[in-house]
Amino acid sequence: MTAPVHAPVSDPASDPDPDPVLAPVLAPGDPPLSGLRVLDLATLFAGPLAATMLGDFGAEVIKVEHPTRPDPSRGHGPAKDGVGLWWKLLGRNKRTLTLDLSTPGGRRLLLRLATEADVIIENFRPGTLERWGLGWDELSSVNPRLVLARVTGFGQFGPYSHRPGFGTLAEAMSGFAAVTGEPDGPPTLPPFGLADSIAALATAYAVMTALNGRAATGRGQVVDLAIIEPILTVLGPQPLWYDQLGYVQPRTGNRSRNNAPRNTYRTADGSWVAVSTSAQSVAERVMRLVGRPELIEEPWFTTGSGRAEHAGVLDGAVGGWLARHSREEAMAVFEKAEAAIAPVYDIRDVMDDPQYRALDTITEVPDPELGPLRMQNVLFRLSETPGAIRWAGRPHGADTDAILEELGLSAPEIAALRSDGAL
């Protein structure tokens, strides 16, 4: 067997500059991205959320916002005492700096920050940074090891690249909306930032991939991520189906074309549950449980696609049984039979669920502005170098002076920049 090919590994004793991403000097319990510096120039959701994910695992994230036009996410959704709550989640573990990048002073300061940064995340329309003299040529000249992640609706090139792009457009253009909703109803958009969130996950992964590449080459690079692409990836093999068979996936509501019964069902107490039978053995258990074992003997029952073609019969059997039992009764019977079922939760149920509590999925974060806050914890658990929420989103520009003082600027220099509108 041929041995796998890996990038050459240098001897740390002879390497004068080991990459801190792959050779970090961490104390026991330190988060794994300690020592990584990220400049978050992006707004709203995909880019900033990617930076949040990096910050959760120890990266030092500096959020750069316009002096008079802060990230619009600060004003999205409900607020408490005039403070946007969405920002408390999106801005956690970030220090905040105001900077007008279109001014000479703002440009100079961003280039100084870039010399000490590992990653910049931005989501301006293509050409905007270049117009300000802050394109890849300028940034890489001051720091050849920099990774520049560019997150836009349609990517850096192509006929749509200069269009304004939002997650909603990606949800429409990817095919997601076309397959979501009832068969006789309209295409359906999600009531939350689905495409942006998927793009954020992809961006964080792309940044870490680029940093790993830097460890081998010593050079940074540009990450070009179009929000229309990651959501298309998670929609599965639709392009392959169409390419090979001309098959276009239709809207099926809560049903699946691959197996049945698979749906949401109302219980006797007015609650809702979801049932899935992706495995043949589970489908058989459910039919026995609801008192319809004779359906198992039908020839079509032996395959998921065969069951899907008879979803009406199977839904009638399962739905009829569940309509005679409360959610609590149904959950107990299904779990005893090792049949797959879950309650349909709203956020009140999530906050009170014992499994989420055991995982600390919703954790408490102290906040000097609003007091204790409960929000989603870091995305996953690491046994040796865990992530952590060190603080919730901070006020607009709260750390501007401190960050600039760390760059070596004096109080009069900072005051002059503020007077010129750069801060």
Q: Residue 51: beta bridge partners?
A: none
* 266 in Cβ contact with 274 (< 8 Å): no
CB atoms < 10 A from the CB of 185, how many? 10
Identified catalytic residue from 40, 118, 196, 315: 196
Phi, psi (deg, nearest 5) at residue 387? -85, 175
- The Cα 315–Cα 266 span in angstroms is 11
- The Cα 189–Cα 174 span in angstroms is 11
- The Cα 261–Cα 276 span in angstroms is 6
Whether 196 is catalytic is: yes
User: Which positions are annotated as active-site residues?
Assistant: 196
